[in-house]
C-alpha cells in the first residue's frame, strides 16, 4: 500500500510533444464509493492492472496489482458504461515528470496534466509551467472515475 501525492491541472495549451512517446490507456471502474474509494481496471500498453484508490485531494492511498490478460478480459465487461480512453505522454519539466492525458471517445477535447510528488511540502512548492491551466486537484469532477461515469464537466474550459 502506498500513499500517492499528486496534483492535477487542466491544460490550456498543448505543449510540444515531438520528443514524447505516448502510451494508450483504457481504464474502467468496477466500483466507485461515496467516500472516494474506487476500484479500477487499467490496460496501459500491453500491461494490465487492478487498482484500489482511497481518499480525496492531493494525498490518496493506492494499491495496484498486475493482472494477466485473461484476468483483465474476464473483469473488463463489468466496467461497461464507466470507462475512459486516453493517450498518456510523459514530459520532464525540471525535476518533475508530468503525465499529460489526452482523452478520446466521449471525453475528446479534455486535456489534463498530473504531477506526482514525494511530499506534501514538495507539492505545494510546485510552480506549474505556463501551458497549465487551473488546478483541479480538489475538484472531484476531474477524477477519472467521475469522468468515466458522468463525462466532461459542463465548465471544462481550461
Q: How far apart are CA 90 and CA 105, in angstroms?
A: 21
49 is catalytic: no
Name residue 55's beta-bridge partners.
Answer: none
Q: How far apart are CA 99 and CA 34, in angstroms?
A: 26
Residue written as cell 492511498? 61
Residue written as cell 487499467? 42
Catalytic center residues: 29
Amino acid at each position: 500500500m502506498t500513499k500517492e501525492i499528486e496534483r492535477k491541472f487542466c491544460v490550456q495549451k498543448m505543449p510540444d510533444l515531438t520528443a514524447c512517446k505516448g502510451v494508450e490507456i483504457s481504464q474502467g471502474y468496477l466500483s466507485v464509493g461515496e467516500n472516494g474509494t474506487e476500484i479500477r481496471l487499467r490496460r496501459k500498453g500491453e500491461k494490465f492492472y487492478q487498482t484500489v484508490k482511497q481518499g480525496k485531494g492531493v494525498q490518496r492511498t493506492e494499491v495496484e496489482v498486475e493482472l494477466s490478460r485473461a484476468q483483465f478480459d474476464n473483469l473488463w465487461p463489468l466496467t461497461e458504461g464507466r470507462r475512459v480512453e486516453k493517450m498518456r505522454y510523459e514530459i520532464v519539466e525540471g525535476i518533475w515528470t508530468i503525465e499529460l492525458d489526452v482523452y478520446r471517445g466521449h471525453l475528446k477535447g479534455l486535456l489534463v496534466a498530473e504531477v506526482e510528488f514525494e511530499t506534501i511540502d514538495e507539492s505545494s512548492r510546485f510552480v506549474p509551467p505556463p501551458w497549465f491551466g487551473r488546478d483541479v486537484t480538489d475538484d472531484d469532477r476531474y477524477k477519472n472515475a467521475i469522468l468515466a461515469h458522468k463525462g466532461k464537466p459542463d465548465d471544462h474550459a481550461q
